[in-house]
Amino acid sequence: MELNTYSTASLAYLGDCVMELCVRERLVREGLSSSSSLNKKALDYVKATAQAQAMKRILPLLTEEESAVFRRGRNIGHTSTPKSATVAEYRSATGMEALFGYLHLAGRKERIGELFDAAYPPEKTENIIN
C-alpha cells in the first residue's frame, strides 16, 4: 500500500504508539526503574500540550514531505479535545503523531530518532530519582 493512501487517523493512531515507545525507551535509558516514576515522567512527553511544544521545535527541521504529513494530521476534524489542551495544541499533537506513524511505515527509524531528540532534547540523567 502506498504511504499516502493510509488514512491520517490511522497514521496518528500508529504514531501515538511509536512516540510512546520512544518515550519509554528514553526513560528506561535514563535509569528510571519504578513504574510509578516511569508513568509520571512519561506524561511530560505525551500530553498534547507537551507534544505541541515539541512540534514547534522540530517544525523548521522537516522536509516538504514531512511537513505535508504533519499538516494532514493537524487538519483532521476533531470532535472533542482534552480539557488540558487548546484545540490548536491538540491538532498539532495529532499532526506530530501522524508524522511519526508515517515515518515508521516508511521504515525511517533513524529519522524518528533524530526528530524525537530534537523535539525533546535529552535531559541530564544525574538528577533523576528512581
Domain extent for 92: 3-20+47-122
* Concatenated DSSP letters of 59-121: GGG--HHHHHHHHHHHTS--S---TTS-HHHHHHHHHHHHHHHHHHHTT-HHHHHHHHHHHSP
Give the dihedral of Cα atoms 54, 55, 59, 64; nearest 10 deg. 140
pLDDT for 34: 87
- 107 occurs within a structural domain: yes
pLDDT for 126: 36
Q: How many Cα neighbours within 13 Å face the side chain of 21?
A: 12
pLDDT confidence tier of residue 58, bands split at 50, 70 and 90: very high
- 41 occurs within a structural domain: no
Is 117 part of the annotated catalytic residue set?
no
Residue 43, burial from CB neighbour count under 10 angstroms (0-12, 13-18, 19+): exposed
- 39 occurs within a structural domain: no
Q: What is the number of domains present in the chain?
A: 1
- 75 occurs within a structural domain: yes
Residue 129 pLDDT greater than 60, yes or no: no
CA 100 – CA 37 distance, rounded (Å)? 25
- 112 occurs within a structural domain: yes
Residue 56 pLDDT greater than 90, yes or no: yes
pLDDT for 21: 95
Which residue would you say has higher pLDDT here, 102 or 79? 102
Residue 87 pLDDT greater than 90, yes or no: no
pLDDT for 81: 66
* Domain CATH for 93: 1.10.1520.10
| Set 11, 12, 14, 16: catalytic member | 16
pLDDT confidence tier of residue 78, bands split at 50, 70 and 90: low
- 52 occurs within a structural domain: yes
Taking residues 114-122, report their average pLDDT. 94
Which residue would you say has higher pLDDT here, 124 or 11? 11
Q: Which residues of 59-84 are buried (b: 16+ CB within 10 A; e: fewer)?
A: eeebeeebeebbebbbebeeeebeee
